[in-house]
Amino acid sequence: MTGADPRRVDPDVDLRVPGDRGELRARPTAVLGVIAAGGVLGALARAGLQTAFPHRPTGFPWATFAVNVTGCLLIGALMAVVAAGRTRPLTRPFLGVGVLGGFTTFSTYAVDVRLAVAAGAAGTALAYLVATLVGALVAGWLGDAAAGRFLRRRAALAAPATVGGGRPGAGGSRAAGGPAPTGRADEDREAR
């Protein structure tokens, strides 16, 4: 590791973003420990699902498909939460790299495709190949979009009610101390 920045814990952390710099406060040993612990938990969960729902080499590997799509959905949601700055320094390494990295399995995905082709189920292999790729990308986007929307709504509900340019009492909102609405939009607009 000669020449590498010894303070750098996570190579995809943007050091220009204050929230990302919080990960640097954690010691690398702690980061590796939470990644390893999370990886064990994620891999055990995946192995349990794949054992509970096995498939023949010619069949569609539903368990692995569900694991990868669900994992990508959760990774997208986690990234929205991390981007909003609502996590502690070891959250992303534990959940993102550890748990969800151990849970998702694109190596098994590749092996399943190869085994299906070798067993003479090229159609199943192609369907699985495309469905997993598209499903994982869409799930990641949906997870990020849904979590981002949820966090924005939650922040809006927690914000104090202000109307009329941010000045309390400047609009027609009773919560902001303004006049009671008349029930007619034209009269309300004229009153402002």
Residues 156, 101: Cα–Cα separation, whole Å: 32
Max Cα distance, the chain (Å) = 76
Give the CA distances from residue 73 to residues 12, 66, 70, 82, 182, in Å, rounded to whole numbers and listed in that order.
19, 10, 5, 14, 45
Tokens encoding 77? 């949601």
The amino acid sitting at 66 is A
- Is 91 annotated in a binding site? The answer is no
96 is in an annotated binding site: no
First to last CA, the chain: 65
**Residue that has been written with the tokens 């954690």 in this structure:** 26
Q: How far apart are CA 45 and CA 14, in angstroms?
A: 31
Annotated binding site: 101, 104
Annotated binding site for Na(+): 101, 104
